[in-house]
């Protein structure tokens, strides 16, 4: 089998890995067939070793953060899925600067900032992302996004050189970044925050979390907002106005609580979700003349 070379490398370097790993275990949608090999490097060096061997053996690689914006095919992913989640160090570089490895959860960075009396990241509390995935998507909520708090980031280029980009070089826009275009792998991110009051920061984080719990169907697996925000309106409002709350295909359903979320009511397949997305798009196009663009990333065989 093609991925034998990666299994052998992992044995040699003691990198945690598994074969035929179900992706449903690693995505917030709890959907997705098996990846041929799933690897968990603990450092940039191990990551680079994996990428080198994969390249030599023409094995396709997919970089996985928290899997909270992904819809993985029922037939899985060919080649290697490399999880960043074992690279999760967070350090205070100086009084208002934090460095976090790509696999650190955004929530841990928010808590770390709060504990050090640093304000600016409160908006991100509750986005179930890894730091790398959040920068890749320029994740945002409640008036903030990553472009407002990130100062620079380190990434591995296609020829496995480690480079550092400042924010201006990242082309950060609405749910997009340069990393979508250049396939670089983010390994760490530096945040520049402001000194603030711990109590106030904490209160703001709790307020934001309470808003999320009230408005989002967090009790069901999903990948967050299914669609990007169209120009001048909200996808959820359009879907709701078209009377689509509760519309379902198999185990996939438009949430009754928040029409912008497609949820997995139990045993939903990737095909169910794709069919439901297709229906929503067609109805919204017909009734409101708007082309909805999917925010959730569909990958796999």
Ligand X SMILES: Cc1cc2nc3c(=O)[nH]c(=O)nc-3n(C[C@H](O)[C@H](O)[C@H](O)COP(=O)(O)OP(=O)(O)OC[C@H]3O[C@@H](n4cnc5c(N)ncnc54)[C@H](O)[C@@H]3O)c2cc1C
Per CB under 6 A, residues contacting ligand X are 28, 62-70, 84, 102, 127-130, 132-134, 136-137, 139-141, 179, 185-186, 216, 218, 222-224, 297
E strands along 149-296, which residues?
A: 150-156, 162-166, 185-192, 194-195, 222-225, 248-249, 252-254, 261-264
Among all chains, which residue has been given the structure tokens 């989002």?
A: 216
Look up tokens 């280029």; give the residue: 157
Q: ∠ at Cα 193 (188, 196), nearest 5°?
A: 145
The distance of closest approach from Cβ of residue 133 to ligand X in the complex, given in angstroms and rounded to an integer, is: 2
Provide the 3-class DSSP secondary structure of residue 297: strand
CA distance linking residue 252 with residue 239, whole number of Å: 15
Q: Are residues 260 and 226 in contact, defined by beta-carbon separation less than 8 angstroms?
A: yes
Catalytic (active-site) positions: 175, 225, 295
Per-residue HEC secondary structure of 8-58 comes to HHHHHHCCEEEEEEEHHHHCCCCCCCEEEEEEECCCHHHHHHHHHHHHHCC
Beta-carbon contacts of 33 under 8 Å, excluding residues fewer than 6 positions away, are 22, 23, 24, 72, 73, 74, 75, 76, 77, 270, 300, 301
Q: How far is the CB of 183 from ligand X (least distance, A)?
A: 8
Nearest-approach distance from CB 284 to ligand X, in angstroms: 20
Residue whose tokens read 């497609």 = 262
Residue owning tokens 């928010």:
110
The least CB distance from residue 153 to ligand X, in Å, is 9
Whole-angstrom distance, CA of residue 129 vs CA of residue 293 = 21
Q: How far is the CB of 177 from ligand X (least distance, A)?
A: 9
State which residue, 46 or 69, has the beta carbon closest to ligand X: 69
């Amino acid at each position: 089998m093609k991925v034998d070379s990666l299994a052998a490398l992992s044995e040699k370097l003691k990198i945690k890995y598994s074969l035929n790993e179900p992706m449903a275990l690693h995505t917030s949608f709890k959907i997705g067939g098996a990846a041929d090999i799933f690897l968990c490097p603990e450092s940039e060096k191990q990551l680079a070793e994996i990428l080198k061997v994969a390249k030599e053996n023409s094995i396709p690689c997919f970089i996985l953060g928290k899997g909270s914006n992904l819809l993985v095919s029922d037939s899985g992913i060919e080649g290697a899925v490399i999880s960043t989640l074992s690279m999760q160090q967070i350090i205070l570089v100086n009084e208002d600067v934090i460095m976090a490895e790509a696999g650190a959860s955004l929530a841990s960075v928010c808590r770390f900032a709060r504990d050090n009396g640093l304000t600016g990241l409160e908006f991100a509390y509750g986005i179930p992302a890894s730091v790398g995935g959040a920068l890749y998507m320029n994740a945002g909520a409640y008036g903030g996004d990553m472009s407002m708090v990130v100062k620079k980031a380190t990434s591995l280029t296609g020829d496995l050189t480690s480079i550092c980009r400042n924010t201006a070089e990242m082309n950060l826009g609405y749910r997009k970044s340069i990393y979508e275009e250049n396939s670089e792998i983010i390994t760490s991110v530096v945040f520049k925050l402001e000194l603030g009051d711990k109590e106030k920061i904490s209160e703001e984080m709790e307020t934001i979390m309470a808003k999320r719990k009230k408005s989002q169907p967090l009790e069901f697996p999903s990948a967050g907002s299914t669609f990007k925000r169209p120009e001048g309106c909200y996808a959820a409002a359009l879907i709701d106005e078209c009377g689509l709350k509760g519309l379902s295909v198999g185990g996939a359903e438009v949430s009754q609580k928040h029409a912008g979320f497609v949820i997995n009511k139990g045993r939903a397949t990737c095909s169910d979700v794709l069919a439901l997305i297709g229906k929503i798009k067609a109805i919204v196009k017909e009734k409101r003349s708007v082309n909805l663009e999917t925010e959730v990333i569909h990958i796999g065989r």
